Amino acid sequence: MKKKKRWLKIGIGLLSVLLIIDIVASFYFYNLAIERNVKDFLVDNSDLEVSAEAMDVFIDGDWREWVDNQDFEQWELESYDGLKLQGYFLEAKEPTDKTVVLAHGYLGRARDMGLYGQYYYEELGYNIFTADLRGHGESEGDYIGFGWHDRLDYIDWIDMVLEEVGTDSEIVLHGVSMGAATVLMASGEELPDNVKAIVADSPYTSVYDMFDYQMGRMFNLPAFPILPSTSVVTNMRAGYSLSEASALDQVKKAEVPILYIHGNADTFVPTKMTEKLYENTKSEAEMITFDNAGHGEAFVTQEDKYVDKLNKFLDKYLR
């Protein structure tokens, strides 16, 4: 009897230690990936290494000077939960009924989408709108929403754009990486009829799936039990769970046509996630992949092929 009690105490002790480790790990991973702070763990991450060609454009491309030389109007939006968010609007050179709404990636900011905005503005003649997602740039927020709460922010931004450009205008949503997940998450909501097309470049299926993949790849850790408990911490701190923040669930309700874009050499967000999104999309959808393109690189390394597909898609669904 005494032996059984001793082993019971040992078992309870071990479970208590494991529970404490799990709780500590959950807060650690929340602070690491979701809390707004400096993300040193991404420095020298081999999955984010880009080609020399892409790096030159990302860092020193002419698009940066182009952004600096444009007279963007700065807009402010109060989110549904009281955050002050910053957006930026650029009216086209000539009057147009077309506007692109751009969404940036993880740890980015609105001006990063100038790389794409320049093409829409100079070559297609669109108005441009882009915003700092919550927890990024000049927008408030002490956590990163990975697109989930941002999807509602973007619906409010779309309404504001329509007030500016007119209710007969046509809108394209174009996001990259986390921005792609944001516009896909918005696709499952009740969007204005003005939204005619969505372009999702390098999206992930859900925040849970993304963390599961990265925990295995970067830390050699299994998802269970750390991710479920990290999800609980995220819900307490940021108001959403990792599993509910799902682009996959949202595209199953989508009504707007979606163009999926992904690089086959992407090791940060695997191409199979986009394939799964494409296969489960309710609305009309197309998918194109780019050989030898890493995460978010395709527009730079294979621009001709990228814009050819983009233009054909837009021509199909916009006036």
In a domain, 227, yes or no: no
Residue 239 zone, left/alpha/beta (φ > 0; ψ -120 to 50; rest): left
Q: What is the mean pLDDT of residues 157-178?
A: 97
- For residue 103, what pLDDT is reported? 98
For range 173-188, the mean pLDDT: 98
Q: What is the CATH number of the domain that holds 166?
A: 3.40.50.1820
pLDDT at residue 48 is higher than 60: no
DSSP label at 225?
Answer: T
What's the one-letter identity of residue 97?
A: D
Q: Collapse the DSSP code of 197 into the 3-class scheme (helix H, G, I; strand E, B; otherwise coil) and give the result.
A: strand
**pLDDT higher at 57 or 78:** 78
Q: Which of 45-54, 210-219, 235-244 has the lowest mean pLDDT?
A: 45-54
Helices marked H in 123-261 — which ranges? Answer: 148-165, 178-187, 207-219, 226-238, 247-251
The answer to whether residue 278 is domain-embedded is: yes
Residue numbers of the domain that contains 158: 34-206+245-317
The pLDDT tens digits of the residues spanning 299-315 come to 999 999 999 999 999 99
Number of neighbours of residue 307 by Cβ within 10 angstroms: 15
Residue 20, domain member (yes or no)? no
> In the predicted model, what is the mean pLDDT of residues 18-43?
82
Tell me: pLDDT of 47 over 70: no
Which of the four pLDDT bands, split at 50, 70 and 90, describes residue 181? very high
Report the alpha-carbon distance of residue 216 to residue 294 in Å, rounded. Answer: 19
**Exposed e or buried b for every residue in 267-290, given b needs 16+ CB within 10 A?**
bbbbbebbebbbebbeeebebbbb
On average, the pLDDT of the chain sits at 92
- Residue type at position 319: R
> What radius of gyration do the chain's Cα atoms show?
21
pLDDT tens-place string over residues 226-248? 999 999 999 999 999 999 999 99
Tell me, yes or no, whether 47 lies in a domain. yes
- Which pLDDT value is given to residue 217? 87
User: How do residues 62-86 score in pLDDT, each as one tens digit?
Assistant: 999 999 999 999 999 999 999 999 9
Distance CA 211, CA 245 (A): 12
Number of folded domains in the chain?
Answer: 1
For residue 224, name the pLDDT band (cuts at 50, 70, 90): confident
Query: Is 259 a domain residue?
Result: yes
Q: Does residue 22 lie in a domain region?
A: no
Q: Is residue 197 part of a domain?
A: yes
Place of tokens 């109007």: 73
* 252, HSE (Cβ side, Cα atoms, 13 Å): 8
Question: pLDDT of 102-158, one tens digit each?
Answer: 999 999 999 999 999 999 999 999 999 999 999 999 999 999 999 999 999 999 999
Sort 11 into a burial class: Cβ within 10 Å, 0-12 / 13-18 / 19+: exposed
